Structure 1
Amino acid sequence: MMAHESILEAFVNLGIYLKDFCENHKTDESGTYADIEHIILKAGQQNGWFTRENVLFSLEQWSRELTHQNLTEWLSRYNLEEEQEPKTIGIVMAGNIPLVGFHDFLCVLLSGNNVLAKLSSNDTVLLPFFAEYLIKQEPGLNHCMKFTEGTFETYDAVIATGSNNTSRYFEYYFGKKPNIIRKNRNAVAVLTGKETKEQLQRLGEDVFKYYGLGCRNVSKLYVPEGYDFDEFFKVIFNFQEIIHQHKYANNYDYNKAVYLMSEFKILDNGFLVLKEDKSLSSPIASLFYEYYDSIPKLKEQLELQKDDIQCVVSKGLLSNEVDFGETQKPKLNDYADGVDTLEFLLQL
């Protein structure tokens, strides 16, 4: 079994590498970062949603989390001293946003277990590249991680992330082993009409970052009766350049056409369609909204829907709220679906 400290140090070194790259890539004339630049380009060629801007944003967030202080503070809540035989943990990764499965990868290795990862066909280049970097920092990790394109054969537990449909397959296939199976979730925002321009601007980040493809992207607004969307539209007009991304534009045109043909009442600003709808999950380039008449009633409603909500954006309304502009900046202890991945692994 590898020493926990050496694994942690490898991730710290990766964080330093990412930080250096994020701070210096614009002035890199010597080709120091040629390898990572190539892998970012390759990721974008494989997946048109993985623009350079979005990959860089993901790398910057991980560079902030992978510090010695952050990692040790996070891990201090757990008992990592007890040595046990490493188990093989199968990870079925999603591919909706860059490095979306990295947190599971991190948890498995830091818990002293081995990774058996099945990558999404939409994201096959980023994680293996950084895995190789980790191996250079700590060669012993070479025996702790494996990537496979086929089905899992020998494994002790599974962490699988997918849609509501694929989760049924996961439950059938992996149900006899200890597992964490994640389904569709979305983020929502609760507005009062008293938000500042800065808060609405930051809300735009929650809506548009990664083109709205992440489970932490705000896909629905809860607004008070009589809410005036004019100020919201004025502020988020700063995000209008998003319409020049052809995949986003195609979704915008298609969804708008469907709504118009169905004679739904919509609000439109040329790059985002707002539609009143009770559903939580809105299509790309669309944002659903629903009126509420009181905060207490809304809290009850959100509690009933908690299994479908990843996080709630608001200010001073809820105990577990996320501040405006922070949904795509999760901390190490912000576990997907509220399930403590590290605790699950340590209990195996």
Structure 2
Amino acid sequence: KDYALDDSMIVISDEKMAEGLAGVMGGERSGCTEKTTNVFLEAAYFDSARTAMTGRKLNLQSDARFRFERGIDPAFQLPGAELASKLILQICGGEASEMVIAGEIPDVSRKYFLRENRIKELGGVDISREEIERILTVLGFQLHNRTGGWDCCVPSWRHDVMDEADLVEEVLRINGFDNIPSVPLRLNTAIPSGAVNWSQEQRALARRVLATRGMTEAVTFSFLPAKYADLFGGVSEALKLVNPISSDLSTMRPSLLPNLISAIRKNADRGTNDSALFELGPQFLGETPSDQVMAVSGVRFGKTGPRNWAETPRS
């Protein structure tokens, strides 16, 4: 199968052409057959964000993508290549060549200062200094004592540890969350009213204004059929869902109007000939966060209301 690539995708290539998509899938020419006698073993480290983006753009699922987009241990490339070569020789026989190293292993070393009193402050449980050191050491952290705490060097395979709070969580997790005592919170002051920002105020105002004009708010899906999206400007491939909840809801909406028009049509099919609907929600004009904008749209169908003695309905 052929795929159209862009400059954001990393490929593995020789002097002539691309051999595979880095971290996602190999190409046909780099595959093995029953006649294969020479194998080039690769132990690589690819950027997880680029790998995930490439897989989403091309709608490719693979074991390689599953692992690389979640992050792998960057310090395991050389030991991993040695171990894999050893297993191949033990099981299949053959001869191994010298290792070729291209590029540099990125420095992902991280060190955070863990204050001893933060275990009590954040976790609400007393744990001895010796137990804290034991827990972090068996988890692979290297500790260096300092006044009031430790400098903790994070293992290369722990991508999820990003600050002191994560270190506290590791200690609490191994010590047991069930060992954290239940303590009722003291209420020192009155409960403050919720803060409403400017954006929320504007949305509430828009809803009130439209409701006073006799319109009813509708809430529809943020996706719609691709054919409807094309009628309202279309969307890029990045806004087409890989795993939609329904085959006819496969595209993020570039406008609120298509779903409102569909709702009006369904109302008319069920005998409601006079409808006035509005919706306030996001519409998706591009791939970046700034392209997701909040909008409001409304649709009227039929007359302004049923016939009555006080006024004549308008079309």
Instruction: Tell me the TM-score normalized by structure 1.
Output: 0.22
Higher gyration radius (CA): 2
The answer to which structure has the higher helix fraction is 1
Higher relative contact order structure (alpha carbons within 8 Å, sequence separation ≥ 6):
1
Instruction: Tell me the TM-score normalized by structure 2.
Output: 0.24
